[in-house]
Structures are given as structure tokens and as C-alpha cells.
Structure 1
């Protein structure tokens, strides 16, 4: 599967050096894309800049029609997109199909939300004035997306950008560019005008550098690590670009003494092991009250051992491969560190390499202590460390002891306890008796070092708009 880039409505880059894309479940080359750099990125930005005037002047209803057509095409091609995603990223096929639907939900949501870019009339403070607020698109958007959700992390940015009247240049990750290219093929099929959507693959430093330095780019949207996010913030400062960042997390899960244990077990399983634990909001630390600890662990371990590891294209697979060797080694480092400091391995605890592919068995650690590495760093893998707590306040204390604040979870049947935890946690997303809180109509984003801005919901559109205040003398 050899693919090209998409710039100003043309597929290009066939003459450039190739970047290979490997199937993480087999280690085999699945496809290739052009290795572009500053020159190609500049062309894409120029195309988006030229297309901005005409696209932004369309009515919100016209832009919504394009997004609705793209939504329909994406759902019609669900099987093909899901297969590409599984073969380049590794997640089980049923999860890839779920992501396609999730990705489409953002396009559908923002197609409608774009019709509600309301301004307002301000009561004047004296006669002879008319005062109003208008909303307008920010301009050309540069998007840098991650490998773990190759479709949804694009549509969560593309949907509001296009709905607001912005034009778009996306740089997909080196690991998973083929899903992004398929999405752009569907944009072309939907008839989205030339220059409105552009895609550049290749050298992340060169492409990112041009997006950050080019004055025609007025907004950067990024999903990825906090380390890279900080670098982008510094680079964006030179031209004072608008920036939104969805960065790393270290999500705690608090299971209180009055929790429905079966509900909590299912919720933690859903949060922890979705996408093999390679998600930014998956539970990374589990704090279980001592009164129900043993019952929770017994049931959780039993269900964890039932999860089948393998190629995402194989029926029955629940845990796919780890994206690469570095990711695998980090997971094993966390497990070995915990084991060496006294944690017990109740399930899993080891991984394996096969023909250049890396797999890690779903793992449960008990007897975990606060100082262990896994309780202080994001693992990004299928490992659930469980620490015993004796009170609600202890759970809150441990949950907040991190510079990150993306997602957190609490399981309790008590309204008063649940509200206490929710109010005390410094996190942008909280699942209360819910291990999968994400939805297109809800704001997604973090506090502290987990980022700036929100995606999804009505808040997701605001990040692509400028506010213009107009004062008119009427006398």
C-alpha cells in the first residue's frame, strides 16, 4: 500500500524518499508514504491560506453539508478504514470499527454545532452606540495527531476546524499515516474544495517546525506527549499562535467501599485494557478500599486472565500488539520495578517478541506502593497496578499527587461520596461509575500539565474561533 500526500487537491510526493509503515502485529511492511519536509509543508500551508477566504465565506449550512457527506462516506467505508487501522496500529478489529463510528460522531456533531456560532448584542452604556460581538474562524489550522487513535484524533480536530470556516493541514504520525490518508481520500470524494484539507507525511521535526514558524498558520492543535507539547508551546510563542494541547495523563481509579464491585470490575477493565492500555485516558493507577479489596482483586484477575492476546485481525483478540519496541520496554520496566520492590504479579507479568512484533500479557499487580515507578509514570500498556487504601481522603490524596490532570475515575454508589471525590479531583474528565466517558458532545481535555483547551462539545468549536467586538456610533 504505497500512498501519496494531498496538497491543494492533488496527490503528490511520489518522487520523494519513502517512509515505511509496519504492521505491529507481524513486523511486516504494510505500506509506505512520502518523506516530506519543510518545502512540501509550506506548499500545503500556502494552499490552505489561499482556500481560506472562499471556504470561510460559505454559510455554516454549506460547510455542514460537506461534513455530513464525509460522515456518511466514513461510515459506508467502515470495514476498509478499520482494517487499515488495525494493520498499521494493531488494535483489535472490533475496536477499530468502534473507532470509525466514534470518529464519524465528531464530524456529525460539529456539522450541526457549526450552525451555532452565535455572537451577541451588548446593551450600550450610553445613547448613540450599538455594541456587538461577532465570531469568525481563526484561519489556517496546523494539526499534529497521535498514532493510538489514527481516525478519531483527526476528526476531533478536522470537524470543528471545517465547521468554523478554517482550512486544515494535518501531519499524521509516522506509525499510522495510512488511516489519515484514507480519511483525506474520503474528503476528496465528499467534494471538499481544493486547499481546504491538506495532508503532509514525513519528517516530524521539519514538518512541525514549518507549521509552528509559518505566519499563515494561526492555530496549532496537537495530541501527544507533554514533553512535545511544551516544546510546541515555546515554538508557537514566536508568532503568538492560538494553540490547543491534549497531552499525557496518569489516570487514577478510586474504588470506594460502597462500590458495586461487579460494576467497578467491568468499568476498570473497560478503561484499563481498551486499545491494550495505549490510551491517554486509560486507568493507570487503581486505588481500592481495603473493605472490598480482596473481592475486587479476585474478580478482576479472573476476568483479566480471560483476555486473549494476539493479532488484531484474528477473531477473539482483545489485546493487540504494543506499537513498538520502545513502548514494550517501558511497560516491562514498570512491571519489573514494581516486582523488585515487593509487588505481586496476580496475572500476566511478562511479554514476548515474535518476528519483530511485541506483545504484553494483560497484567495485574497487587501490593503496589506509592513510590513505585508505575504509580508515578504513565505506562501506556496493559498493566493494572492495584494499591489498597483505607479512606476516601487517602484515595483523593494519592489521585491528585501528579502533575497531570487529564482523566480520573471513581466507583461509588453514594451520591455524597461521589460528589466529594469529583469536586476534589484536579482532572478535566471524570468517569463516575463509567470507564468509558468520551463522547463527541462532551468536552475532552485536561488540567495542569495535561494540556490546554477542549475538544468535543460546544467548547471544541470555540478553539477554532476568534472573538471580535464591534462598537458602532449611531448618532
Structure 2
């Protein structure tokens, strides 16, 4: 797929598009074909420092901007994004590979963060009251935390940018955003959209780079930076938390997941299968919220498995821009090799693959395609049950009762999201309380919503994105005590 000649390829610093130091670039490839579609400016350490300089210089002025003015910028950005939804969808499909229909869905989802935080920006409050002793008045206010570094992943290049930038803008914070090397183009196009709607120079700065650690580490170490937000793997998150600790930075970490999907004996199996397809195959399974382990009561396991196999075998693998495609390519060939190795390991340990492994004829050479699979009889020690699959593979394990289901579901270091299907309302409430995850979908296969606090527990991270809580992540609380 080709991209528009007007799509930005440079760094965005201090309100201007510019080349990287020494003119360095890196290539961005279309995962459907493996062909290079763009050469993007490759930020250096000096470029990262310049971006932080610009954010620091703009911070005081942006913090002093009226909340309504910040609200209008975000609302205008939402309106313009909706006008250009087809352009953004095509761009995402070109650089990330997901089917165009899913890219359109991401534009809708990503846009909702702009709309939500445009409304929240005008409602930043505090409180006032007498202290318990009656000797004074307490005045509590919320203020911008200050310049932020935002590091986004490749799998949702628009939504992850809006989910971080929108609350930062609403709260009065300036930012340096570092998009993923694999999918920088959508984020750069969105930053240009913010420029078009009048966001002041320096409020948002963008530094794509092939050397994320080398460029970001000095920015994190700079005492002028006050917040770090990262979405990505748990190992990288742990490293960033250690770096952020030196400056005692505010941090938001949305890390890995190993989501359980529980189907109880009283579940509506047909509804559970529909939910499972959403929870597993959205974004070709390349989502931190993707269901990783399907835990099914032994009484309904045979029915559930047969239905899932039929649904999976009906999926169509192909380029994201091809009509009828429901499973696009994975982001690169490395992802194909990693997931194939997980499948081989599981089969060697005794697991059975119930679906066809052959890819359809006529796929472009050089694309990173993988046939979706359903796997059963997976040993508990298999890596595919312990690691985040991040691809179109369903693993099914059975359980006998609720306690066993919970033990299996919670038997992981991760705790981002869980899903459960049951008609028993009392059981549903117990599950919400006992599942060790930051989010739970009850009889639903999708939980994300701009008005809700997205985030996990345990090794899946800390902090929340979305909802009123998402705005608080970019604010510091201050109080003053005055005489009675």
C-alpha cells in the first residue's frame, strides 16, 4: 500500500518539522508485502534534548492557558480527525497491517479520547473547606505535573497517541512523544493535525527514532522532565521505572498481559464464542487486552471448542487493504517466528492444533502472515500459557469448578484484563472481586472505553489512562491552609 506524499516524515520540535541530526533516517515497511513505504527522520540524543528544551520552554505558557482554550483545541482535533478518518485508517493499515475495517475502528476509538478529555479539560477542580479543628480553611487545587515523555507502542499507533496526548494537553502539560519505530507515521500525522488546529509551538514534540533507549534515557535523566508514560512490554517497563526512580518521576506504565477468558457451565456458549472472537482476534491478536488463555468448564468445553474452530477456520488471511480480509499480517517476520516457536514448543509438549496451518494461495511475497490456530491439551508448563502470545492463537484449557478457574486465571504475574461468561449474577460479582486484574469484561469481549480507567495490576503496570483518573495522572495536588 502506498502512502500520501503529504504524510510527515520528519521530527516535530518547537512547532516546526525538521530533519534529524546529520539527516539520519530509518525505513518503515508495509508488513503485508515487506516493502519499504517511507524513510523517517531518525532522532539522535541531541534531537531528544532539543525536543525536551522546546517542551520546557512552552510549559509555563501552556499551563497558564485557560482550560476552555485547551478544551477547544482538543475538540477541534476530534472534529478534524473524524473528517480525515479514511486517510488515517489507510495510513494505519499501510504501516501496521491491520484490516482497514479495524483501522477505521481505531480512528473512532482514538478520537474518543480527544472528545472525552476536551470535556474533562474544562472541569478541572479542587475543593475547599474547614479543617477538623476549625482553625483554618483548606484549599486543594490540581496543577499540571509538567513536561512529559510519552512512549507509545506499534500496535495502536493512533489510539495510544491520543490516549496519552489528550489528557496531557487537557491538564496543561507539554510533551515529547516517541512513537514506535515500526509505526511512526500515524503518530506524526496526528501531531501535524494538532498543529493545524492551533496547538501552540512546543506543547507537543515528536521524535521517532531507531534508538529508543539511547535517545530516551538522557531525557528521562533530565531533572526538568516530570512525568514518564509508557505502553509496552513488562521487561522494558521495569527498566524505565528504574530510570524514572532517579528523578522521582510520576509514571504511568501500561505493560504486558496474559488475559484469561473464563467460560462457565451456565454461560451462553454462542455469546461466549462471539465475545471470544472479539477478545482474541481484534488487531490480529496483537493487543495487550487480547485473551491469551481460554479457560472453559469441562461441561461446555467440547461445544465451545467446536464453535471456535469453525469460526477460526472461516477467517480470511490477507493484506489489510484487500476486501474480505479479517486477519491481516503480523507486524513483522520476527513476530511470526516468535509465535511459531511457541506453537512448536506446545505441540512438542503434547498439545494438539485443531485448525489448518496452511496459508491461502496468492498472498504477497515478503508479508508476515500466520494462519490463525486453536490449540488444546496444552500442558500447564508450556511457554504459550505463560507468555503473552500477541497473535492469532487460541489456547483452550478446561476446569472443573469456580475455585479451579480462579486459580488458573490468577496464576500469572500479569493482571491487566480478564473476561468471564456466566449467567450467575452472584458469581459475576465474586469474579469481579477475586480476579486479579485491573479490568474485567463480564459477558463482553471488549472492555476499552475512553471514559473508563484503563490499566492493570501486578506486572501489568501502574496508573490509569482514560476516565477522570486519566487526567489525574497528569496533575499534581497542592493545598494551602489559611486562617479561620
2:389 alignment partner, one of 362, 379, 385: 379
| Matching residue within 337, 341, 350 for 1:333 | 341
SS of 2:122's equivalent?
A: helix
- Give 1:128 deviation, angstroms: 4.7
Aligned to 1:279: 287
Give the aligned partner of residue 137 of structure 2: 130
Map 1:414-433 → 2, pairs under 5 A: 414-433=424-443
| Worse overlay, 165-174 or 339-348 | 339-348
Q: Is the 8 A contact 1:78 1:97 kept in 2?
A: yes
How far off its partner does 1:469 sit?
1.2
Deviation at 1:351, TM superposition (A): 6.3
Structure-2 separation of matches of 1:259 and 1:10:
55
Q: State the number of aligned residues.
A: 474
In the alignment, which residue of structure 1 is the partner of 2:128?
121
Aligned to 2:445: 435
Are 1:200 and 2:212 an aligned pair?
A: no
Number of the residue aligned with 2:114: 107
Measure how far apart 1:356 and its partner are.
2.5
Give the C-alpha shift of residue 83 in structure 1: 0.6
Partner Cα separation in structure 1 for residue 133 and residue 300 of structure 2: 65
Distance 2:175 2:353 in 1: 47
Q: Is 1:298 matched with 2:306? A: yes
Q: 1:177 to 1:407 in 2, by over 3 A?
A: same
Report the equivalent of 1:343.
351
TM-score of the aligned structures, taking structure 2 as reference length: 0.96
| Aligned twin of 2:9 | 3
1:238 Cα deviation from its structure 2 partner = 1.1
Instruction: Report how far residue 355 of structure 1 moved.
Output: 2.9
Partner of 2:81: 74
Which has the larger displacement, 250-259 or 465-474? 465-474
Q: What is the aligned partner in structure 2 of residue 12 from structure 1?
A: 18
Greater shift in the superposed pair: 7-16 or 399-408: 7-16
Aligned mate of 1:219, from 202, 220, 227: 227
Question: How do residues 404-419 of structure 1 correspond to structure 2 at under 5 angstroms?
Answer: 404-419=414-429
Which TM-score applies when normalising by structure 1?
0.97
SS at match of 2:33: coil
Report the equivalent of 2:481. 471
Q: Distance in 1 between matches of 2:236 and 2:280?
A: 24
Aligned residue in 2 for 1:460:
470
Identify the residue that residue 314 of structure 1 maps to in structure 2: 322
| Residues 196-275 of structure 1 mapped to structure 2, 5 A cutoff | 196-202=203-209, 203-275=211-283
Instruction: Report the 3-state secondary structure (helix = DSSP H, G, I; strand = E; otherwise coil) of the residue aligned with 1:359.
Output: coil
1:104-183 → structure 2 map (5 Å cutoff): 104-183=111-190
Deviation at 1:473, TM superposition (A): 2.9
SS of the residue corresponding to residue 369 of structure 2 reads: strand
Contact 2:317/2:359 (<8 A) preserved: no
Task: Name which of structure 1's ranges 221-230 and 198-207 shifts more when overlaid on structure 2.
Answer: 198-207
Distance 2:40 2:280 in 1: 32
Q: How does 1:2-41 map to 2 (within 5 A)?
A: 3-13=9-19, 16-41=23-48
Asked if the contact 2:109/2:159 (under 8 Å) is kept, the reply is yes
CA apart distance, 1:256: 0.2
Measure how far apart 1:127 and its partner are: 4.7
Cα–Cα, structure 1 residues 153 and 88, in superposed 2: closer, same or farther, change >3 Å? same
| Structure 2: gaps (5+ residues) | none
Q: Is the 8 A contact 1:244 1:452 kept in 2?
A: yes
Who is 2:59 aligned against? 52
User: For each residue in 1:128-181, what CA deviation from the matched residue of structure 2 results, as whole angstroms up to 9, or x when unmatched?
Assistant: 522111100001011000000000001000110000000111000100000011
Distance 2:305 2:416 in 1: 25
Deviation at 1:338? 1.4
Q: For residues 155 and 183 of structure 2, what CA distance do their matches in structure 1 show?
A: 8
Q: What is aligned with 1:359?
A: 369
- CA distance in 2 between partners of 1:384 and 1:350 (Å): 16
Could you tell me how far apart the structure 2 residues matched to 1:129 and 1:297 are?
A: 65
Answering whether residue 379 of structure 2 is matched by residue 369 of structure 1, we say yes
Deviations 1:16-61 (Å, cap 9, x if unpaired)?
1111000011000011111111111111111111111111111111
Does structure 2 conserve the Cα–Cα contact (< 8 Å) formed by 1:347 and 1:364?
A: yes
Q: Deviations over 1:188-246 (max 9, x none)?
A: 11011101111011121222112211122100000000000000001011111111000
Does the CA contact (< 8 Å) of 1:332 and 1:351 recur in 2? no
Q: Which 5+ residue runs of structure 1 have no aligned equivalent?
A: none
Name the stretch that deviates more: 186-195 or 366-375: 366-375
Between stretches 353-362 and 373-382, larger displacement belongs to: 353-362
